[in-house]
Amino acid sequence: MLRIKSMPRKIGPYTVSLLETGQFALDGGAMFGVVPKNLWQRTNPADDQNRIDMALRILLIQGGDKNILVDTGIGDKWDEKYKNIYRISHETFSLEKALSEKKIKSKDITDIIISHLHFDHAGGLTYLDQGKLKLTFPKAKIYVQKEQYEWANRPTPKDQASFLKENIMPLKEANLVLLEGEKEIYPGIHVLISHGHTRAQQVVKVTDGASTVLFCADLIPTSSHVPVPFVMGYDNFPLLTMEEKRNILEKAVQENWVLCFEHDPKVAAATVQKDPQKGRFSVKEVTSF
């Protein structure tokens, strides 16, 4: 996996940065659903267990007295069995290293927007201290959609393995803010709702009217998922994902948004183009951030 180098980007009063918090791997077939392997492996080659490289990238928004994280990575509470299953590695990247490079301590994080409560997005909210779970960012407000929080506490048999109690139960002791629907949390920082992957996933838009960054979470997890039919087998409502993706991509083309990919091992961010004849979407990588 390559080291993603990107420069922070100024949007209105905010400085927006992408942070690398680790690496892991998931089954390529699950990541691309019904798309044949001979198509997706061109951009995402699989290992001998059919797993593809995955980044654990998060967003940092800084402005005024705010240090805001969007997602927290996978965390470090994993035993060797699960580290091997998901090929989890923090040798090169970790949440602690990423914050340290920005000269930020856990107590400095004021707000955390969690896209959804799957283990690879919310795992960094807690850590183990002598066998006891503790909040990584005890002073931070943690924003989760109420519908997603309720879903995570009563998941379906299809997705229950993605919601781990050690990531969710401690939130009862946190400064938890349950949102209901789309909202502007702070001026220029919006959460948009997507239901295709899991109920009430929130993707985060930062805009000043002239420039816009969208942190796509698992609506569009990698740049390889920009083609509308490339939908994950993990999605609960894949047809809805396709509709939601198309709507977002149309806006991204019209308004020249920069899309940030949480799991792409090589492309951290890109703008989107649409072929006027075929109607297909493609990406152009950007590195100025």
Residue 155 lies in a domain: yes
pLDDT tens for the chain, 289 residues long, are 455 566 899 999 999 999 999 999 999 999 999 999 999 999 999 999 999 999 999 999 999 999 999 999 999 999 999 999 999 999 999 999 999 999 999 999 999 999 999 999 999 999 999 889 999 999 999 999 999 999 999 999 999 999 999 999 999 999 999 999 999 999 999 999 999 999 999 999 999 999 999 999 999 999 999 999 999 999 999 999 999 999 999 999 999 999 999 999 999 999 999 999 999 999 999 987 6
Residue 1 lies in a domain: no
| CATH number of 185's domain | 3.60.15.10
Residue 224 lies in a domain: yes
Q: What is the pLDDT of residue 287?
A: 83
Q: What is the pLDDT of residue 288?
A: 72
Q: What is the pLDDT of residue 7?
A: 80
Sequence-distant (6+) residues with CB within 8 A of 57 are 4, 18, 19, 20, 21, 260, 261, 262, 263, 264, 268
Residue 3 lies in a domain: no
pTM over 0.85: yes
Q: What is the pLDDT of residue 243?
A: 98
Residue 36 lies in a domain: yes
Q: What is the pLDDT of residue 6?
A: 67
Domain residues for 147? 9-285
Residue 41 lies in a domain: yes
Q: What is the pLDDT of residue 211?
A: 96
CA distance 7 to 11: 13
Residue 281 lies in a domain: yes
Query: Edge-to-edge strand order for the sheet containing 258-260?
Result: 183-186, 189-194, 201-207, 212-215, 258-260, 269-274, 281-285
Q: What is the pLDDT of residue 213?
A: 98
Concatenating the DSSP letter of every residue in 106-167 gives GGG--EEE-S---HHHHGGGEEEETTEEEESSTTSEEEEEHHHHHHHHS--TTTGGG--HHH
Number of domains in the chain: 1
Residue 4 lies in a domain: no
Q: List the structure tokens of 53.
A: 């490289």
